Structure 1
Amino acid sequence: MKKYLAEFIGTCVLTLFGCGSAVAVNTLLAQSNVLVPLGFSTLLIAFAFGLSIVAMAYSIGNISGCHINPAVSLGMLVSGRMNVKDFTGYVISQFLGGILGAILLFIILGSNASLGTNGFGEASAMGISVGVAFLVEVILTFVFVLAILGVTSKAENGRIAGLVIGLSLTLIHIFGIPFTGTSVNPARSFGPAIVSGLTSVAFAQVWLFILAPLVGGALAAVCYNFLSKED
């Protein structure tokens, strides 16, 4: 239960600080008369998500491994580093943590109009189609989970693993934010989407941000297993 509680807390923190930073940056840009380059705002949001991972990795990493992402847990399951029982407990805890993080953000903002949700079509900054959004999320999650499997494969990488994973997530967000807002994490997407309302566009589209990251995580595990086999 300590592992599950750690995953719950970690996912809550990631959702609150990551999505909260996205909302804060976009709100300030919309209300400011100062022209701020879009790339700068993207960097701020990307580092908010990345640093959240770094903070949690060195806080709960020794307890649960700090997956705080169902796609990462699925990658661990497929790669044989996790059993089905723990996988189930982790995923439930992660989704609940994502929901709590979104609820806290809703309380702080006093509105569920914008909670850092993901989207495609009109909900995407670049207006990409559902097919392109799915492909982008699969690729982003594939790269992210592959990096995690690689850096955590050796015990001697323990001291730098959190930093590497956090910077990898930052990289993923820098590329993905203009396309989908970057999910690569079903729990981080589901929490804000459900708190936004069952009739919201975010909730109607959240299926993609649950399915695509899981596909990307599973593919990364299969690929890493193949690449790392000595025979």
Structure 2
Amino acid sequence: MNSRALAAEAFGTFMLMSSILGSAFYSFGAPSGAAGILGVAFCIGITVMVTAFAIGHVSGGHYNPAVTIGLVAGGRFEAGKAVFYILAQLIGACAACGIFSLVGHTSPTFAANGYGELSMLKASLSEVFILETVLTAFFLVVIMGVTRVNGPSLLAPAAIGLALTAIHIMSIPISNTSVNPARSFGPAVYAGGLPLSQLWLFFVAPILGGVVGGLFGKWLLKADA
């Protein structure tokens, strides 16, 4: 297993998690005015975009277990490497949470994902499950489409970053947006309690969506593979 690829996955996930925590913890409470959902969404999308431009070529720029598993399902990634990538992603997410716990000014839930009391709109378990599954599938189709052999490879990071921005605008009020088990894992571990008890949902739904999106993308883009 390529150690540089694993380091890139850990670092990329660390930066993704940092963009989520920094924007969630600090921009909403800024004295000069809250950045709001749009500010948070663009912070996350831009971070993923620039990280993918900078180091995506080293590992493929997954930064997300659902993406890794979805790409395996879509025939774009070796199954034997998936476990190592996922471990690196989980470590990167937890490391970012550790840094922000030291910085402080965090929320009791540590920006965790959730339903019911953890949802801005008090969305139900089924509502969160459906949206997380559908949006992760959408994300995988975008990733597979822009990274196809004859695709717009130079613009792929921009498309992926903008897709993630759109996903966050759509779903922050419902689930605080996961579409990424590593993103959910770190905050749940640090928050404990209710966020940790709901963590299973943010593994099952995004991974299911990743597999569906990977398989659908493989079929849809078959002629362009």
For residue 109 of structure 1, report the CA deviation from its aligned partner. Answer: 1.2
- What is the percent sequence identity of the aligned residues? 35
128, 133, 157: which one aligns with 1:133 = 128
CA contact (8 A) 1:19 1:117 kept: no
For residue 225 of structure 1, report the CA deviation from its aligned partner. Answer: 1.6
Superposed, 1:140-219 pairs within 5 Å as 140-154=135-149, 157-197=152-192, 200-219=193-212
- Structure 2 gaps of 5+ residues are none
Root-mean-square deviation (CA, aligned residues, Å) is 1.7
Aligned to 2:96: 101
* CA–CA distance in structure 2, aligned partners of residues 64 and 71 of structure 1: 15
CA contact (8 A) 2:145 2:221 kept: no
> 1:27 is matched by which residue type in structure 2?
G
> 1:16 is matched by which residue type in structure 2?
S
Paired positions, count: 221
CA contact (8 A) 1:133 1:180 kept: yes
For residue 73 of structure 1, report the CA deviation from its aligned partner. Answer: 0.5
Aligned to 1:2: 4
> 2:88 is matched by which residue type in structure 1?
S
118, 123, 129: which one aligns with 1:123 = 118
Secondary structure, counterpart of 2:123 in structure 1: coil
CA contact (8 A) 2:145 2:151 kept: no
Q: TM-score if structure 1 supplies the norm length?
A: 0.90
Aligned to 1:16: 18
> 2:197 is matched by which residue type in structure 1?
A
* CA–CA distance in structure 2, aligned partners of residues 129 and 110 of structure 1: 28
1:222 equivalent to 2:224? Answer no
Aligned to 1:56: 51
For residue 154 of structure 1, report the CA deviation from its aligned partner. Answer: 2.7
For residue 228 of structure 1, report the CA deviation from its aligned partner. Answer: 2.2
Measured against aligned partners, the alpha-carbon deviations of 1:124-147 in whole angstroms (never above 9, x if no partner) come to 011111011100100111111110
Aligned to 2:68: 73
CA contact (8 A) 2:62 2:68 kept: yes
* CA–CA distance in structure 2, aligned partners of residues 193 and 137 of structure 1: 17
Measured against aligned partners, the alpha-carbon deviations of 1:87-131 in whole angstroms (never above 9, x if no partner) come to 111111001111111111111116562422111001101111101
The runs of 4+ residues in structure 1 deviating greater than 4 Å are none
